[in-house]
Amino acid sequence: MATNNNQPRRNPPRRRRRQGVSVLAVIVLIILALLMGAFAGYFIARKTDPHIHTIQELNDRVTELENTLTLIGYPLGEDVDPARWAYDNAANDNVLEDLSGGSFADDEDDLWNDDSLLGATLPEDADPVVVAEFQGGQLLSNEVIPEYNDQLTSQIFSGHSADEVAEDTLNRVLKKLAGDKLIALRAAELGLTDLSDEDLAQIRQQAAANYDTQLDDYVAFSEDPNETRESAVKKLEEEGVTLESVVESLKQSWWSQKYFEHIVKDVAVTDDDIQSCYDALLAAQREEYTAYPEDFEYAHTNRELVVFRPEGYRAVRDILIPFSAEDAVVVATLTEQVELGTADENAQGQIDAMYETLEATVKEAQDRLNAGESFESLMDAYSCSPALKEAPLRNEGYYITAASFVNSLEYVEGSMMLEQPGQVSAPLRSPLGLHLVQYIGDVTPGQVPLDDVRDAVAAEALKQKQTQYYEQQRDALLEAAQVKYYPERLR
């Protein structure tokens, strides 16, 4: 059974915030998260295949945390008195109560008022009350509050005022959860909650794929250079994640996908639908990619549907002579220290020496190229950048321009110096190792003809139309059930 990403899925278990957390604790933790998150994000981006979208996401996270600091009263302007917020545990064993400049206990009412995060969230330990009822069931407050608190927190961390979004957020959550219950009842009536042998086989297949992806991600982003899939299995197990736990999670939500497919089984798209979808995508991408071309690079690398290409791009691919995992960490750390001006006088020499250990292998690859072996065959014989290991990027390559962040500055500048398609660069450094980059050809700018992407656009148009129809049927189900909401009981 195909998975449709637009179908609402059951949320994974959440770590819920304890009630009554100290304001000082929140302040300290946010400041530490801002500092450590920025460092960790920068380090990971350098260790792995760098990409501007990753940097963008990290910048968005920093902005989000800065908004939160502003919300709780921490000033971010140039006139900040850092001593007032500097952490110093010299005089107090209780680190959460020791912020230089004195205690903030007297300021607590100013920091957290009725419009702030803690004033707007709802306590999760209150006795359950009915907050919605409908033909066939009811919705309790303890089912609503965790979801509401999560969504409101996300809204406020993004810079919205609690006073402005709280009511709308609560009404949206009430409607969504009431709809979920009604859909579950309807699915049971249709016999869709019963799992067949075919369902169970598909669940196990999907669970295995999901679990493998989690293992791969755990290893790829681990700070331990010696992390393996075997060690990742043990660590995930300690966190309660096993193949069987993934299977059980899918069993609980599998019926919802079956219900979605049942509802939209007769939805189809016409040529007009496909043309309308294409026109909308073209207009949106023309605006976005012209203003933010790095989004175009991200979309191409991640195999998203692209119908517009900005000016000035060329396609390249590479043969990579990689560092070992341990050496990659050392090089990334030393390079960072050099760039920040904190390295000792021998650091650059150490970096150069580590790249020199790869030069004999690079020379061997160059000799094989000169002897007539194909570039693609040597991508297999040695290695290549991670995104290029599979089709179609293997043949299409990265799309880069002079301002790209697709790899290191040396990688980009060396790639842009190549004059003719087919030409191969001298060895270029990146945090991964040494690259021999091949210039594949120029990327045709402007709109991609509809005929070239018709199947992909048709799939996107169908997905949008199915989602719209599903939501219409969901709303009709809510209306027919005559749902009555009691949001005032949550206050």
pLDDT per residue of the chain (491 residues) written in tens, 0 to 9: 444 433 333 233 332 233 333 334 444 444 444 444 444 443 334 334 444 444 555 555 555 555 555 544 555 555 555 554 444 444 444 434 444 344 444 444 443 444 455 567 888 888 999 999 998 899 999 999 999 999 998 888 888 888 889 999 999 999 999 999 999 999 999 999 999 999 999 999 999 999 999 998 888 777 776 788 899 999 999 999 999 999 999 999 999 999 999 999 999 999 999 999 999 999 999 999 999 999 999 999 999 999 999 999 999 999 999 998 889 889 989 988 998 899 899 999 999 999 999 999 999 999 999 999 999 999 999 999 888 988 889 989 999 999 997 788 999 999 999 999 999 999 999 989 999 999 999 999 999 999 999 999 999 999 999 999 999 999 999 999 999 999 999 87
| pLDDT recorded at residue 69 | 52
CA distance 351 to 355: 6
Comparing C-alpha atoms, which of 8, 1, 68, 4 is closest to residue 32?
A: 68
Domain residues for the domain of 42 are 19-111
Amino acid letter for position 438: Q
> Which of 159, 143, 253 lies closest to 206 in space, CA to CA?
253
pTM for the complete prediction?
0.68
pLDDT at 226: 75
Among candidates 429, 393, 490, which has minimal Cα distance to 145?
Answer: 490
14, 146 in Cβ contact below 8 A?
Answer: yes
Residue 111 burial (C-beta neighbours within 10 Å; 0-12, 13-18, 19+): middle
Asked if 299 and 395 sit in the same domain, the reply is yes
Residues 320 and 414 placed together within one structural domain of the fold: yes
Give the pLDDT confidence score for residue 157 in this predicted structure. Answer: 83
What per-residue confidence (pLDDT) applies to 413? 95
302 and 401, same structural domain? yes
| Residue 136 resides in a domain | no
What does DSSP assign to residue 324? Answer: P
Shared-domain flag, residues 201 and 320: no
* pLDDT number for residue 109: 42
| Whether residues 301 and 379 fall in one domain | yes
Domains contained in the chain, number = 3
Same domain as 342, residue 415: yes
Contacting residues for 278 by C-beta, under 8 A, at least 6 apart: 307, 450, 453, 457
| Crossing angle (nearest 10°) for helices 23-47 and 325-340 | 110
Give me the residues paired with residue 435 across strands: 320, 428
pLDDT of residue 320: 96
218 and 236 Cβ atoms separated by less than 8 Å:
yes
Confirm whether 434 is domain-assigned: yes
Same domain (yes/no): 256, 305: no
Question: Do 430 and 384 sit in the same domain of this protein?
Answer: yes
- Please give the pLDDT value at position 218: 87
The answer to the question of residue 318 being in a domain is yes
Class of residue 331 by CB neighbours under 10 A (exposed 0-12, middle 13-18, buried 19+)? buried
84 and 222: one domain?
no
Q: Which of 62, 81, 111 is the last residue of a domain?
A: 111
Residue where one domain finishes, among candidates 73, 96, 111: 111
In 3-state terms, the chain is what percent helix, strand and coil (to 5)?
A: 60, 10, 35
Residue 376 resides in a domain = yes
Domain presence at residue 105: yes
Instruction: Please give the biggest Cα pair distance in the chain.
Output: 79
